[in-house]
Amino acid sequence: MTESPSRKLIIAIDGPAGAGKSTIASRLARKLGYINLESGAMYRALALKAIEWDLSFDDEAALLKAAENARIQLEPSMGGNRVLLDGRDVSSRIRERDVTEAASRVSVHPQVRALMVARQREMGTGGGVVMEGRDIGTKVFPDADLKIFLDADPVIREQRRLDQQKIRGGSVPDIAADMAAELRARDQRDRTRASSPLVAASDAVILDSTRLSEDDVLGRVEELVREKMERS
């Protein structure tokens, strides 16, 4: 899939945890030759800094100061983004469960989100980006050329998260019991937070991936991109 170099799109993919948006965004960006701006990785990096500094996830002022001082970089690679925190590669560390849980807690604070959104907009200046998260189409890039809200049945999303943990070498008996509870709690925080709650933009295309394979979802998203390019 290619496009005219004079017209680079901004593509926003939102959705809850486990819907598959990170994988789809990464694969789509590679196909288009775009940058994959992974907003979740940025919040995860901040959460890791909070853990390492022993900051309370409820202390907005302390978290804001940490965010202001943090240097978070996303570097494209063949296997997806490398995430650098203050020059240190934390790509693997930020995928661990304690950071995943912390990320959804540090991200609820309005001032923290405002600062991160400003940085994300800077990174997307000029287009040629695929950005995924929970408020990309509603807050970060409200004028995105294409907005997609990727969703799936909670049971399917829980199973996908469990499969990811198994692939990473986790012990199924240790993680299966509370995986569903964690995902439901995260959904609740994301959908009810005061600042930029998880909701589909009014002009987003809603895709339900419950009964679709990863390739099926990517194929449908590519169709939407082609349609947008033709109209543009």
| Domain ranges across the chain | 10-217
- Contact (Cβ atoms closer than 8 angstroms) between residue 113 and residue 170: no
CATH 3.40.50.300 assigned to 10-217:
yes
What is the structure's pLDDT at 193?
79
CB 143 within 8 Å of CB 149: no
| pLDDT at site 221 | 97
pLDDT number for residue 173: 56
**Please, are residues 177 and 91 in contact by the beta-carbon 8 Å criterion?**
no
For residues 209 and 106, give the distance between their C-alpha atoms in angstroms, rounded to a whole number: 28
Per-residue pLDDT, 180: 73
The residue whose two tokens read 């995902």 is: 183
For residues 39 and 45, is the Cβ–Cβ distance under 8 A? Answer: no
pLDDT score recorded for residue 70: 97
Looking at residue 1, its pLDDT comes to: 58
Give the pLDDT of residue 150. 96
pLDDT of residue 171: 55
Residues in the chain where the model's pLDDT stays below 50: 4
pLDDT at 75: 85
